[in-house]
Structure 1
Amino acid sequence: MFLFEAKRIFIVIFGALINAVALNFFFISADVYASGFTGLAQLLATFSSEYLNITFISTGIWLLILNIPVGLLGWFKVGRHFTLYSILSVLATTAFLELLPVLTISNDIMLNAVFGGVIGGFGVGITLKWGASTGGSDILAMVISRVKDKPIGSYLMIINGVIIFLAGVLNEPENALYTLLALYVTTRVIDTVHTRYEKVTAMIVTKKTDELQDAIHKKVTRGMTILPARGAYTKEDKSMLVIVITRYELYDLERIINEVDPEAFTNVVETAGIFGFFRKDSN
């Protein structure tokens, strides 16, 4: 378990390094903005430097400042384990942004938008894949999905819409278009590396029904449906556990299944929409 957590910490720090490379080597020099709180930090750094003549607060420092209240919210509303890794990601990203120089790899703004989006999307994707987040909008999305059971895509779209609009206001109108391109590329790369859908349905076929159900309910606060199942080849009686979860909970679910019943068969599919009661209050 220690080695597993050590590897997880390494992946989170490595993802932060990749994000910092995307920002300092591609986005910042080209005035192209990332998504979420990272993009907001870029906007604040640009505004404070050009209009307020405040140059000592960099993008990394603004990112840390923006994540302080969100980190506190995640600590009390989401869970300490998830939030601790998210805080680690933010701190590491801030440190790398301060340590790495801001370089101009290319003067072509489109190349900066595309390559920055690819590299940044990979950094975010591997961080999410290992059960952490890059902080900011991800933690807000986690809180909203657990409290209101409403689609969080609209909230994230509003944040990114503000970033795209202000990118054109603070710079040239074409910067808004290239920022939109960068956000699209980032999202597509995250789709490839990690399941990005807001909600997914997991169908778990297992012989350890009660043990697996108890383990899942201790960690994931969702209801589930248990159906009888029978192996077509072995003719063994089994059960199918059907549960709808958010993408943030997919890592925890996979870890629980591997610990309780490594021989279980799990099929995870995208959920286009749900009706009825989704959230289960924990006791």
Structure 2
Amino acid sequence: MLARALHWMNIIVSSALIGFAFNMMLLPHKVLSGGVSGIAMILGLVTPLNTGVIIFLLNVPILILGYLKLGNRFIIYSLLSIAVTAVSMQFIPLEAISNDPIMSAIFGGVIVGIATGLIFRSGGSTGGFDIIGMVLTLKKELPLGALIFALNAVVVFISGFVFDWDLALYTMASIYVTGKVIDAIHTRHVKLTLMIITQKGDAVKKKLLSNLVRGITVLDGEGAYTQEKRQVLLTVISRYELPDVKRWVASADPQAFVNITQTVDVMGYFRRS
């Protein structure tokens, strides 16, 4: 219950930060965000429509796709993020806090990247291309920030034709920084291989299988010095699962030796969560 409340609070605060970055760093200099938000910014700048309202309307069909592919909770969290961003943009003044468009693009991109990464870590998204990126990562393990950056390239070209190419380059710099920051925070695509050496193999295996949807290979081992029989458990997990796995192993066998290495790639079936 507490964890869910923290997720909600994190999404609310992070989404308000995105609204702040849009209205006080990016939009005043016509430096756009990427994806659907960037398209909404373009429409908001060339029409009398409010950018926050456009963001909400453009996200409706993408949210339906996310509901079908990613589940109820993801969409509820995403709707919360989109709503908070749209509402916050109604109250935060559209006023530049810096006269330098380059610094605004960079720091606006950093703030959007941090906020978006935290929303991803809480199980939601900011809508738009984020949802499309999440759906694509179900099929192929790719860094989400880099994938979103690639999807957002279309916004850069649109902004170049609508405004000018200096602004397009500022936009490219902003969404590049955003993508890098997202990948620094959202690391679900990073896989880890665990080698667990334990004298309580059955207890550790039971604990992991009851909490973790991962395959585990069990080998027989022997201590070279003590000649004591041990079991070696091998499994591959995502980086997000590591804190829980460490806690489960320690509860089953506090004396277990666990070697953790980063995995370059996996072949065969691996459940992406």
Same fold per TM (> 0.5)? Answer: yes
Tell me the distance in 2 between the aligned counterparts of 1:228 and 1:20.
Answer: 52
What is the match of residue 224 of structure 1? Answer: 215
By how many angstroms is 1:208 displaced? 2.0
* Matched ranges for 1:84-103 at <5 A: 84-103=76-95
Greater radius of gyration (CA): 2
RMSD, aligned α-carbons: 3.3
Q: 1:178 to 1:216 in 2, by over 3 A?
A: same
Give the SS at the match of 2:212. helix
Q: 1:44 to 1:213 in 2, by over 3 A?
A: farther
What is the match of residue 70 of structure 1? Answer: 62
Percent identical among aligned pairs is 27
* Matched ranges for 1:44-193 at <5 A: 44-46=43-45, 50=46, 54-56=47-49, 58-146=50-138, 148-149=139-140, 151=142, 156-192=148-184
- Tell me the TM-score normalised to structure 1 length: 0.77
Question: 1:75-96 CA deviation, whole Å, 9 max, x = no partner?
Answer: 2221222222122111111111
Contact kept? 1:201, 1:268, Cα under 8 Å: yes
The letter of the residue matching 1:201 is L
Q: 1:14 to 1:157 in 2, by over 3 A?
A: closer
Equivalent residue in structure 1 for 2:245, among 254, 257, 262: 257
Contact kept? 1:149, 1:279, Cα under 8 Å: no
Question: 1:127-170 CA deviation, whole Å, 9 max, x = no partner?
Answer: 22333322222322222232x33657686344211011112111
Q: Can you give the 5+ residue segments of structure 1 that lack an aligned partner in the other structure? A: 218-222
Give the SS at the match of 1:140. helix
Tell me the distance in 2 between the aligned counterparts of 1:266 and 1:170.
Answer: 54
Contact kept? 2:33, 2:174, Cα under 8 Å: yes
The letter of the residue matching 2:148 is L
- Tell me the TM-score normalised to structure 2 length: 0.79
Give the SS at the match of 1:61. helix
The letter of the residue matching 1:126 is L
Tell me the distance in 2 between the aligned counterparts of 1:129 and 1:231.
Answer: 40
Q: 1:230 to 1:38 in 2, by over 3 A?
A: farther
Contact kept? 1:209, 1:239, Cα under 8 Å: no
What is the match of residue 255 of structure 2? Answer: none
* Matched ranges for 1:10-25 at <5 A: 10-25=9-24
The letter of the residue matching 1:72 is I
Contact kept? 2:118, 2:186, Cα under 8 Å: no
The letter of the residue matching 2:101 is I
Q: Can you give the 5+ residue segments of structure 2 that lack an aligned partner in the other structure? A: 253-257
Contact kept? 1:33, 1:42, Cα under 8 Å: yes
Count of residues paired in the alignment: 260
Question: 1:60-104 CA deviation, whole Å, 9 max, x = no partner?
Answer: 112212221222222222122222212211111111112211111
